[in-house]
Amino acid sequence: MTEGSTQISCAQFEPRIGELEKNVATSLSLIASAADSGSDLIVLPELCNSGYVLASRQEAFELSEDAATGPSIAAWVKAAAERNVYLVAGFLERDGVRLYNSAIVVGPDGPVGTYRKNHLWDAEALYFERGDLGFPVFHTPFGRLGVLICYDGWFPEAWRLLALQGADIVCVPTNWVPMEKQPDGLPAMANVLCMGAAHSNSMVVAACDRVGTERGQTFIGQSLIVDHNGWPIAGPASHCETETITAVCDLSQARRQRNWNSFNQVMRDRRTDLYGEMLGTTARPNWY
């Protein structure tokens, strides 16, 4: 790798509902392989420790864990320290009696932060609270990192708020499902949304999906990594197989190359006389 470059992997696999220890063991094996290949940042799927299609609130609660003390988190923290890598992993978070569809960011020195899914999909509303941590951006040695989870990616405001806070890369643990009326021969809508968001915000996107069928629900795989221009640099991965995709990029280029030409820069061209600088949130802008 050249100086300043970061190797990113998305480790796509099939978690099994309720099989916490087995799912985490699978994730650790994939983390080890990606780290051995030189990856600095490894992204895992949404709810990759628990499985996704929950049968009841009771089952969800039994599969949940605290972000500070949970066994899945402890295993990922240990792996990150041993392998000197950063991880973004989806897990079923318990905070008191509240449950969240969350993702944790961990590094060699331990947990960096947690993101809670803000936009709930379908039956998720039966089990999870909507996220209450906003759209945090986490600082890492290789750049500023934001997180979205699955359906969050359908909201351009989410991507833009991360970009306005200076995110160089957005990691997306996800469990994409087939979209109605998806034409044959065209990219998955989820892939198109990631490409569009990367292009319109000039930031790298690393989206890691799961595969398989769980309690009748099929998942589409097709994880991908997109550069800040909006073009895939790894993937889309298989629609049905465990697969790790990897790409190398200089995340600083996302910030350096936001000028499309002599006149246009995607952040400075916004009409903040027509809409709020931060779209009505209290987040602090941090871009240049």
Return the pLDDT at 287: 67
Yes or no: say if 164 and 268 are a contact pair by the CB < 8 Å rule.
no
The domains of the chain, with CATH numbers, are 6-256 (3.60.110.10)
Return the pLDDT at 2: 59
The catalytically annotated residue of 10, 14, 46, 208 is 46
DSSP class of 93: E
Catalytic residue check, 194: no
Structure tokens at 272: 């903040």
Residues of the chain with pLDDT below 50 are: none
Return the pLDDT at 255: 79
Return the pLDDT at 227: 97
Handedness of CA 184, 190, 194, 200 (dihedral sign): positive
Return the pLDDT at 288: 62
pTM for the complete prediction? 0.96
Catalytic residue check, 150: yes
If residue 76 lies in a helix (H) or strand (E), which one and from where to where? Answer: helix 71-83
Mapped onto helix, strand or coil, the DSSP state of residue 260 is coil
Catalytic residue check, 181: no
The catalytically annotated residue of 48, 93, 117, 194 is 117
